Amino acid sequence: MPELPEVETVRRGLSPTMEGAVIRRLELRRPDLRFPLPRDFAARTAGRRILALSRRAKYLLIDLDDGATVIAHLGMSGSFRIEASGQRDVPGDFHHPRSKDEKHDHVIFHLEGADGGSRVIYNDPRRFGFMDLTMRNELETYPAFRDLGPEPVGNALSADYLATRFVGKQQPLKSALLDQRIIAGLGNIYVCEALWRAHLSPERAAATLVTPTGRPKQQLLALTEAIRAVIADAIAAGGSSLRDHIQTDGSLGYFQHSFNVYDREGAACRTPGCGGAVERITQSGRSSFYCRICQK
């Protein structure tokens, strides 16, 4: 499942083509993805100008000039590609190639922009992604967004805030960090990486990072900084682009080659002087990768 950095990479890749363009036609090649597509989706978007592309957690937001917003989620295998002037440009060497089978091209934005016409194509072999349409001023009450916590970027995420959410919580730290009501958009890969950077075990109770008076301990300060840093590094690297996920220009992100623990079971821990090895355990049905020697 693409995580926040991957979705941010998609947003940045699509923005130059989509922002300011007019949707001449929205072509729907099937009535549903994971869920049914919005009622009158094509008619409601035809002729609308795209004002901006933004992101909330792992969701891509496409703002239209009538106040509506298209919400897109990539699911497990969804991706966008851009075709302009009749050419399909897919540069880069792929570790896991994108689907080129047009039977998986489900939604096509036919656009008219300053540089002429182009098509933005949503391809999704497994159809676990979805698209919806709502008004921009109703996003905060949209079911997928209304209970989301702050993003793991910027000043909204602080150790003081996490202390208020972790106080008295005996839940394992890994599980607490994956709770989207606490932090929006943080997923399994980058939780593993952030915990390694902060030298914290995924199994320790979240409450152990908070003082009896409800203040953040030094470990929670370190964890907050690690979360921000690992997300920033992944965005700068273009997202991890694991398995089915690829960038909009077809190139493969390279942050996956910098993983310190994720998917490195049995490999030597990269903490200087540690001497331990990366282990894999299962927590709530998901793999956690960590070093029990330096992560306490």
DSSP notation for 115-159: TEEEEEEEE-SS---EEEEEEGGGGGGSTTTTT----SSSSS--H
Q: Is 98 a catalytic residue?
A: no
pLDDT digits (tens, 9 = 90+) for 251-293: 444 455 578 999 999 999 999 999 999 999 999 899 999 999 9
pLDDT band at 78 (very low <50, low <70, confident <90, very high): confident
pLDDT of the residue at 86: 57
Q: CA 251: distance to chain centroid?
A: 17
Average pLDDT of the residues in 124-131: 94
pLDDT digits (tens, 9 = 90+) for 19-70: 999 999 999 999 999 999 999 999 999 999 999 999 999 999 999 999 999 9
CA distance 144 to 53: 18
What are 218's two structure tokens? 């030094």
pLDDT of the residue at 235: 84
pLDDT band at 88 (very low <50, low <70, confident <90, very high): low
Most confidently predicted of 103-117, 136-150, 228-242: 136-150
What are 235's two structure tokens? 């965005």
- Catalytic residue chosen out of the listed positions 12, 25, 127, 286: 286
Asked if residue 62 lies in contact with residue 70, where contact means CB atoms within 8 angstroms, the answer is yes
Asked if residue 66 lies in contact with residue 12, where contact means CB atoms within 8 angstroms, the answer is no
pLDDT at 248 over 60: no
Asked if residue 228 lies in contact with residue 177, where contact means CB atoms within 8 angstroms, the answer is no
pLDDT at 240 over 70: no
Average pLDDT of the residues in 155-160: 91
pLDDT of the residue at 253: 43
Instruction: Please give the share of the chain, as a percent, with pLDDT higher than 70.
Output: 88
- Catalytic residue chosen out of the listed positions 2, 38, 172, 202: 2
pLDDT of the residue at 91: 25
Q: Is 58 a catalytic residue?
A: yes
Q: Is 103 a catalytic residue?
A: no
Asked if residue 17 lies in contact with residue 113, where contact means CB atoms within 8 angstroms, the answer is yes
Q: What is the reported pTM? A: 0.87
pLDDT of the residue at 289: 98
pLDDT of the residue at 258: 73
Report the amino acid identity of residue 275: G
- Catalytic residue chosen out of the listed positions 11, 48, 56, 58: 58
Q: Is 146 a catalytic residue?
A: no
CA 38 → CA 35, 103, 206, distances in Å? 9, 21, 40
pLDDT of the residue at 12: 86
pLDDT at 237 over 80: no
